Amino acid sequence: MRRLSAFNVVSLALGLAFLYLPIVILVIFSFNASRLVTVWGGWSLAWYRELLQDQAILDAAWTSLRVAALSASAATVLGTCAAVALVRMGRFRGRLLFAGMVYAPLVMPEVITGLSLLLLFVALNVDRGFWTVALAHTTLTMCFVTVIVQSRLIGFDRSLEEAAMDLGAPPLRTFLTITLPLILPAIAAGWMLAFSLSLDDLVIASFTTGPGATTLPIRIYSQVRLGVKPEINAICTIMIAVVGVATVLSSLFAKRSAIRRERGALAAQV
């Protein structure tokens, strides 16, 4: 029997308050009519209107969205392959190095990853810009996708796959018709994480970008260095709203598909 003690409740409440209070304050002040960030001048959408006229921010946001969509999609394909390789291929040659290269970027300081990728692009004499940032983000985020898909692959029952193989389905077909639908929620979650990590990254993008490919975090960072501005609060609020809605929707989706799966399993037993 689990019982929450008063200590448990208080530490949970304080912990969540600590996590959310700064974000809530930021959101509230984005609707502040006053230019002074700390003086409350009544509710207003002035900073959102101003944002719509800031072409530089809009361009940067568009660049970021394109980089994030492209790199998240590439990272999802690569990361899923890597997860399948790690879970299903047994002990192939060089597996230890492979696993090492998958897990290391999760903790590697970004300045090191950013610098090394930039030096690679310079050595290859590639023009830096949109594509180099997308390549860099793909490399970083594929490792996160791998970890998410990997834990899903380990967690599920292999008997369905084995049944398909026994009935003569070739490996690729088994993967596409049996495995892929089962791990789809993890793949979707991996894509979303990759997308938001790419949208978020400042350091690696700063190293690997070139003229004409300013991403949103780079733009925000250069503004923030000049001081707090209400427009920044507004753009941050929009980003928080987008991520919040997407996360809640995806968790509802995952729950629905889990319920449907359980019902299917029940029906099969009856």
Residue 69 or 120 having the CB closest to other proteins:
120
- What are residue 32's DSSP bridge partners? 43
- Residues 6 or more apart whose Cβ sits within 8 Å of residue 34: 40, 41, 42
How many H-runs (helices) and E-runs (strands) does the chain carry?
A: 12, 0
CA distance 121 to 207: 10
Cβ-based nearer residue to other proteins, 225 or 270: 225
Task: Supply the minimum distance, in Å, between the C-beta of residue 178 and other proteins.
Answer: 15
Least Å distance, CB 269 to other proteins, is: 24
User: Shortest gap between Cβ of 32 and other proteins (angstroms)?
Assistant: 11
Angular region, 39: left φ>0, alpha ψ -120 to 50, beta rest: beta
Kindly state the smallest distance separating residue 268's Cβ from other proteins, in Å. Answer: 25
Task: Give the nearest distance from C-beta 149 to other proteins in angstroms.
Answer: 11
Query: Residue 160, Cα to own-chain centre: how many angstroms?
Result: 30
d(CA 204, CA 91): 33
Closer by beta carbon to other proteins, 111 or else 160? 111
Comparing CB distances to other proteins, the nearer of 58 and 120 is 120
Quote the least distance from Cβ 240 to other proteins, whole Å: 5
Q: Are 142 and 79 in contact (CB under 8 A)?
A: yes
Comparing CB distances to other proteins, the nearer of 109 and 168 is 109
Which of residues 226 and 267 has its CB atom nearest to other proteins in the complex?
Answer: 226
Burial 76-96 (b: 16+ CB within 10 A, else e): bebbbebbbbbeeeeeeeeee
